[in-house]
Structure 1
Amino acid sequence: MKSDNFKRFELKPFLIEALSEQGFTLPTEIQERLIPAIKNGRDVIGQSQTGTGKTLSFLLPIIDRIDVTRHEVQAVITAPTRELATQLFDELKKLIDVAPEDERVQAKLLVGGTDRARTIERLKIQPQIVVGTTGRLADLVKENALQVFTAKMLVVDEADQMLDMGFIDDVDKVASKMAENLQMMVFSATIPEKLQPFLKKYMTDPRHVHVEPKHATATKIEHRIVSLRHRDKLDFVVKIAKSLNPYLAIVFTNTKEQADEVANAMESAGLNVDRLHGGLQARQRKQVMKLVNDVKVQFLVATDLAARGIDIKGVTHIINFGLPKDLDFYVHRVGRTARAGADGIALTIYEDSDQESIEKLIKKGIRFTYYDFKNGEWTKLDKAPLGVPGKRRHVRTSTTIKPTQSKPAEKKATGGKATAKPRKVKPAYKKKAKYRQNKEEQRQRRINKKK
């Protein structure tokens, strides 16, 4: 059996079978280090980036520990968004659906945006594992529809995002109603200082596993960076999108208002586009995700809601309409492409005000390639443009991506003779040429006056 390497964790046979069917052969580092600890009932903190296998590191031992003879809630798994909760539930179903009838774990997905009364009706039979968003879970616990006092395992996934979005209080409301000997499992890309009081309240001597990525981002991502300069940003991003012709591209914006503006502009330009942000109703977001997964959308304009945890397959390009305020999200954004060994392009439109942020990303190990985009052509620059961090560092020789016919020599105002532009353009060449042209025109006017 392909998944023999998972056998040493002494998991139930149907879990090994499920792993084999999904093609998982070797445990990842975080799985190696956390599965035994979780099986032994220890509190854990798993700190890692997306794509390290953290989801299986808690799902496998939790399912393994469920007592199917007890028809009560035994584990609660929380997520900050409906999309991420749904994704976790789908992964859970892949593992439990292969189990024999007498070992089948009962699980339910509880998220906002669904019929509350119908949900309460379904909870007359309590599930053994609950996956849900914190707000809906806290509401159902308050109504006593969800009885979590029997549950001894709690997962807080994407904890730093929970904190940022103000959901930790809801997690606290749920955790405070659970069993006294609660085992808490916290997973997060970062562990902010503001999260510490919550962790100390519920965790005892947690096993803290921090899996450092070998590279800041996947090695097969090409990080392109292009200056906006004097151009209209909405018009520019539309032209860039048209030039790429991706299988699937995600265009990231910093606000839902920006996302709507960009999506509307792309739609007006005839592009196949949809949008995903927190301003949409749950039903709308679910429809968008279905269209994306069914490969019926070529461009998805999204806020950072889609950057954390959500696995969207087939993303070939990332376009950053602007750099995120929290630069850690740059890594999360570009991590949507170049997955499972594929190549990917992450393209960022930057402005002069972004120089400090670019410098910080360079220090994090991001290797940018500088480009210009003009008249539908991509030109790779040999070094960063003037005024941009890294301008003295050579990258590659300047190359035009799309071959074009050479332009005829241009006539200058100085004498009317045809002169070709120099191949190597010196810094401020255009300004100097304009200055010389103005001087020549002034000289000619003075001569004409004397005549």
Structure 2
Amino acid sequence: MTKKSFQSLGMHPVLSKVIEKLQFREPTEIQEKVIPSIIQGKSVIGQSRTGSGKTHAFLLPLFNQIDTSKREVQFVITAPTRELAIQIYDEVKKIIHYAEKEEIWIPKLLIGGTDKQRMMEKLKNPPHIIVGTPGRILDLVTSEALSVYSAKTFVIDEADLMLDLGFINDVDKLLVRAKQDIQLLVFSATIPERLQHFFRKYLENPLYVRIDDHFSPETMEHRFIALKHRSKAAVIKEISKAIQPYLALIFTNGKNEADELLGKLLNEGLNAGIIHGGLTPRERKRVLKEIQNLKYEYVVATDLASRGIDIKGVSHVINAGLPKEEEFYIHRVGRTARAGQEGTAISLYTEDDFKLIDNLEQKGLTISYVDIVDEAFVEAKPWNKRQLRQKNTTVLEKEAWKQVRKSKKVKPGYKKKMKKEQENIKRKLAAKQKSKRRR
């Protein structure tokens, strides 16, 4: 299928210049499929993996239909975390700058942790575009400092995380205060079943676009290393000798584990920082700035960073502990190999992870099993060698072993004798089964 150009999607000439300055050569698959419908005013549910271009899939068509003759709120864009709202707002400002419309297209960022009174004063002249967290936007609406009734479009970004963090209720309260026929744009890497009730309430015949041709980007490598009896920090130290990351995100399964791992990595001499939900908003802002300024080569993180924060320039993702669900694995590794770039995901695993690994492979993920020897990756036996041997152990063999008499005194050659006895019992059990079948 021939790739379309942005111009063929119905973009205004002003935005063609913006797209050129953004250095977008052609639309991604999600952009190609949703932009024309958004321009036509249809409600859309867009589901595609992290890093597939969802943000510009809704931003570009919204700017395409902005009405500068009216000084009122036209678009409301909601995000589940302050950091994500700030990042979307930065993209909004970039588009406005490239379009040379700084005095004409007026955006406003509405998030917690800022002076509410000062914000209320600034809202006396309504912006065209609101970007923010649902809680702060709702707070300003209920305080009558802001009205969203004039909005033509309402965007819910990272809808699955919005649901998980409990902010979907605030979104619900905002939509009750909006026009009944408002265009609703919902974007997410996954669409949980629990969102269906919300969709039925607000969406009538929306365009549902799901991009899942690739379980994971083709430009990404997935390397799995058996932890065995080693410490995670020691293995990551060895990994650091084999890779030269621009920036490596190291995922853990919780804040306490992240804090503990950071301490050990610093002791190992790694240049590492940390980001997780336990940090105060001010600390998170400082760390994100330090990450952007390339202060760290390694950043220990929890799943907050895989979904609620967009950290640019990640060349490697290291799973110090694998998550329990495939979706979380994909969220995490989606931090690298973004927009067609190459990336590497390295995961440490134990026997507890066999089920997840099996599910990932069944869904088509190509995994390389490796270890590190002399500061280089070398091929290792696949995780399931032992499991395959266990599957080949028949029920008869297990039953026969149960019936073998265990000697209290261990004498030379006892293993051979026990094996011989087990084989004899197995033959007798097999003969019994054969006899029963004949009857």
Kept in 2, the 8 Å contact 1:50–1:309? The answer is no
Assess, with a 3 A threshold, how the Cα gap between structure 1 residues 127 and 34 changes in structure 2: closer, same or farther: same
Structure-1 separation of matches of 2:196 and 2:144 = 29
Structure-2 separation of matches of 1:44 and 1:391 = 48
After superposition, the C-alpha distances for 1:23-72 in whole angstroms (9 at most, x for unaligned) are 11222222222122112211111111122222222111211222112111
Assess, with a 3 A threshold, how the Cα gap between structure 1 residues 29 and 309 changes in structure 2: closer, same or farther: farther
Structure-2 separation of matches of 1:28 and 1:345 = 21
1:11 paired with 2:11, answer yes
Quote the residue 2:216 is aligned against: 217
1:307 match: secondary structure = helix
Kept in 2, the 8 Å contact 1:14–1:98? The answer is no
Deviation at 1:101, TM superposition (A): 4.7
Deviation at 1:295, TM superposition (A): 1.6
Kept in 1, the 8 Å contact 2:45–2:208? The answer is yes
2:386 match: secondary structure = coil
Deviation at 1:157, TM superposition (A): 0.8
Structure-2 separation of matches of 1:205 and 1:342 = 35
Deviation at 1:269, TM superposition (A): 2.5
2:338 match: secondary structure = coil
Deviation at 1:97, TM superposition (A): 1.8
More divergent stretch after superposition (46-55 vs 198-207) = 46-55
Quote the residue 1:138 is aligned against: 138
Matched ranges for 1:237-386 at <5 A: 237-308=236-307, 310-373=309-372, 378-384=377-383, 386=385
Kept in 1, the 8 Å contact 2:10–2:36? The answer is no
Matched ranges for 1:37-52 at <5 A: 37-52=37-52
2:337 match: secondary structure = coil
Kept in 2, the 8 Å contact 1:28–1:52? The answer is yes
2:6 match: secondary structure = helix
Matched ranges for 1:409-448 at <5 A: none
After superposition, the C-alpha distances for 1:241-267 in whole angstroms (9 at most, x for unaligned) are 455342210001121121111112212
Structure-1 separation of matches of 2:148 and 2:337 = 40
With normalisation by structure 1, the TM-score equals 0.80
Higher relative contact order (CA 8 A, sep 6+): 2
Structure-1 separation of matches of 2:330 and 2:388 = 19
Matched ranges for 1:170-189 at <5 A: 170-189=170-189
**Matched residue pairs, number?**
392
Assess, with a 3 A threshold, how the Cα gap between structure 1 residues 343 and 439 changes in structure 2: closer, same or farther: farther
Quote the residue 2:228 is aligned against: 229
After superposition, the C-alpha distances for 1:411-448 in whole angstroms (9 at most, x for unaligned) are xxxxxxxxxxxxxxxxxxxxxxxxxxx979xxxxxxxx
Kept in 2, the 8 Å contact 1:311–1:336? The answer is yes
With normalisation by structure 2, the TM-score equals 0.82
Deviation at 1:146, TM superposition (A): 2.2
Assess, with a 3 A threshold, how the Cα gap between structure 1 residues 239 and 115 changes in structure 2: closer, same or farther: farther
Quote the residue 2:129 is aligned against: 129
1:71 paired with 2:71, answer yes
Structure-1 separation of matches of 2:70 and 2:201 = 28
Amino acid at match of 2:184: M
Quote the residue 2:164 is aligned against: 164
After superposition, the C-alpha distances for 1:350-385 in whole angstroms (9 at most, x for unaligned) are 111111111001111111111234676643225446
Amino acid at match of 1:285: R
Structure-2 separation of matches of 1:247 and 1:101 = 35
Quote the residue 2:152 is aligned against: 152
Deviation at 1:308, TM superposition (A): 2.4
Deviation at 1:335, TM superposition (A): 1.8
Kept in 2, the 8 Å contact 1:384–1:390? The answer is no
Assess, with a 3 A threshold, how the Cα gap between structure 1 residues 106 and 241 changes in structure 2: closer, same or farther: same
User: Which structure has more helix as a fraction of its residues?
Assistant: 2
Structure-2 separation of matches of 1:27 and 1:41 = 19
Deviation at 1:309, TM superposition (A): 6.6
Kept in 2, the 8 Å contact 1:4–1:25? The answer is no
More divergent stretch after superposition (268-277 vs 115-124) = 115-124
Identity %: 47
Quote the residue 2:106 is aligned against: 106
Kept in 2, the 8 Å contact 1:251–1:299? The answer is yes
Kept in 2, the 8 Å contact 1:113–1:282? The answer is yes
Kept in 2, the 8 Å contact 1:383–1:391? The answer is no
Structure-2 separation of matches of 1:202 and 1:208 = 14
After superposition, the C-alpha distances for 1:131-158 in whole angstroms (9 at most, x for unaligned) are 1112222222222222212112100011
Deviation at 1:340, TM superposition (A): 4.2
More divergent stretch after superposition (368-377 vs 304-313) = 368-377
2:348 match: secondary structure = strand
